[in-house]
Structure 1
Amino acid sequence: MNATVAGLTWHSLVGRRRALLLFVLPVVLIALAVLVRLVSGESSGSATDLLGSFSLGFLIPLLCLIAGTGAIGPEIDDGSIVYLLAKPLNRYVIAISKWIVAIGVIVLFGVLPTLVAGFILAGNQDGVATGFATGALLAGVAYITVFLLLAVITRNAVVIGLLYALVWEAAIGGYVPGAQTLSIQQWALAVTEKMLGDSAPALGVDSAVGLTTGLVLLFVVSLGGLVYTGFRLRSIRINGEE
């Protein structure tokens, strides 16, 4: 990882107007958790419902879209990427640096709030907080990779990514049986289900794929997507044309 590239990426992500969503969405999650706790008391069921639908199903994909596309998309759009590519830096180092920073953003604004919300709602019951936080982390890594790659291969990454997150992951991939096996959310949910253990069926946590399949698919998408991102960066010419 290159520290200079990482620093510039961090300032780019947290210094733009759309970065406000990075702060607003976690606050909404925590506020909802506090409200539900006040109304329903400590409950693993309430925690599962909120973290499964809002955090894993909405918060993580949307934050990853913001961080993944924002890590490199604006530089490509305004042409400033040529100054970075003109430096004697390996393209894969650039891709990895931006990928790591984007993951760090997701951990800070997505995974940790999920963990906190889980403890607010369920305390230490059934491992709900740690289970969903782990699922959020693994899903976040895969989502970041997909959206970072999208930002490199198309200027419509935000639109395509939004359609993917809201239509495929939240709607089709969440409820259509055949499509569920191709959902990052379902792959990560397999890990959460395993961590919940015997409590998973009672809490309604049931992934469409097995643990091994989920982990393998998460690994393949994350590694393969990152490698291809570096490859596509190598094909971008200094004049901005491919």
Structure 2
Amino acid sequence: MNPTVVRLAFSSLLGRARSLGLLALPLVLLAVCLLARLAGGEPQSSDGTLGRAVLSGLGLAVVVPLLALLVAAQLLGNEMDDGTIAYLLSKPIPRWHIVVSKLVAAITTTLLLGAVSMALASLILDHTDPGKALGWAVGAAVASVAYSALFLALSSMTKHSVVWGLMYLLVWEGALATLLEGISWLSIRSWSTRIAGWAGDMSVISADSAPLGYAWVASGVVLVAGTVWAAYRLRGLSITGDD
């Protein structure tokens, strides 16, 4: 990891006005939970029907992956698209240092905006059980790490990473997940939900969910594989940033 690259990555994320749009996603999640709480009048269990629909169906399925996708695209995809990645490639810095540094910035940003907002959303629904809020935060943290690595690798492969990322979320983790039970074994959302249920001692898992150990291992594999692939792709780029 290179501290200078990390600093530049955070500057890229926080120094642009359009980055404020990232805040809209967690704010929407919190607003939905607040409306649900006000409409119900009493605390809503975060592992009940409503809590599962909001925190898993909206938080883990939409907010966290979209945050990771937008952050990864801005940190690497946009730089490869406009050619500014050539500035880093021209420096005597190993390519894997660049990837790891950007991954650290991506994970940190997604964690702060995603995992923290998931914990707050759970507390809004039911402030009497902080253990469940911690569980959702842990699940969101695992999802943040895995999605960041996946979308960073995707950003290293194509200039249209946002489009392909959205297709992955809509088709694979969305439509197909509702039709094919086996998708849960290859779904980051399913793994993170399984881990959230374990961490918060909640009954949010379905009968076809992958085992807990598999969920941890699979998330780690995505992290390592995504990082290695992104570094490999950067090694294949010329100094001008051409594919």
TM over 0.5: yes
Residue 43 in 1 paired to residue 33 in 2? Answer: no
Residue 113 in 1 paired to residue 114 in 2? Answer: no
Contact 1:91 1:233 in 2 (8 A): yes
**Alpha-carbon distance between aligned partners in 2 of 1:187 and 1:174, rounded to the nearest angstrom:** 15
Q: Deviations over 1:164-203 (max 9, x none)?
A: 1122112223552122211111111121122243x41xxx
Residue 87 of structure 2 aligns with an amino acid whose one-letter code is Y
Contact 2:136 2:200 in 1 (8 A): no
Runs of 4+ in 1 over 4 A off after TM superposition: none
Compute the TM-score of the two structures, normalised by the length of structure 2: 0.92
Q: Deviations over 1:98-140 (max 9, x none)?
A: 0000111111111101111111111242832111111111011
2:139 match: 135
2:226 match: 225
Q: Equivalent residues in 2 for 1:181-200 (5 A)?
A: 181-197=185-201, 199-200=202-203
Contact 2:154 2:161 in 1 (8 A): yes
Contact 1:63 1:110 in 2 (8 A): yes
**Alpha-carbon distance between aligned partners in 2 of 1:15 and 1:136, rounded to the nearest angstrom:** 25
**Alpha-carbon distance between aligned partners in 1 of 2:179 and 2:138, rounded to the nearest angstrom:** 22
Residue 185 of structure 1 aligns with an amino acid whose one-letter code is R
Q: Do the aligned partners of residues 93 and 185 (structure 1) sit closer, same or farther apart at CA in structure 2, a change above 3 Å counting?
A: same
Q: Equivalent residues in 2 for 1:4-153 (5 A)?
A: 4-40=4-40, 41-44=42-45, 45=48, 46-125=50-129, 127-153=131-157
How many aligned residue pairs are there? 238
Q: Deviations over 1:134-153 (max 9, x none)?
A: 11110111111111011111
Contact 2:133 2:200 in 1 (8 A): no
Structure 2 residues not aligned, in runs of 5+: none
Q: Do the aligned partners of residues 73 and 7 (structure 1) sit closer, same or farther apart at CA in structure 2, a change above 3 Å counting?
A: same
Contact 2:139 2:196 in 1 (8 A): yes
Report the Cα offset of residue 239 of structure 1. 2.6
More helix by share: 1
Q: Equivalent residues in 2 for 1:157-172 (5 A)?
A: 157-172=161-176
**Alpha-carbon distance between aligned partners in 1 of 2:164 and 2:184, rounded to the nearest angstrom:** 19
Contact 1:172 1:180 in 2 (8 A): no
1:240 match: 241
Compute the TM-score of the two structures, normalised by the length of structure 1: 0.92
Residue 145 of structure 2 aligns with an amino acid whose one-letter code is V
Report the Cα offset of residue 17 of structure 1. 4.9
Residue 139 of structure 2 aligns with an amino acid whose one-letter code is G
Q: Deviations over 1:65-91 (max 9, x none)?
A: 101111111111111111110001011
Report the Cα offset of residue 47 of structure 1. 2.6
Report the Cα offset of residue 205 of structure 1. 3.0
Q: Indicate the SS of the match to 1:102.
A: helix
**Alpha-carbon distance between aligned partners in 1 of 2:166 and 2:179, rounded to the nearest angstrom:** 18
**Alpha-carbon distance between aligned partners in 2 of 1:176 and 1:123, rounded to the nearest angstrom:** 35
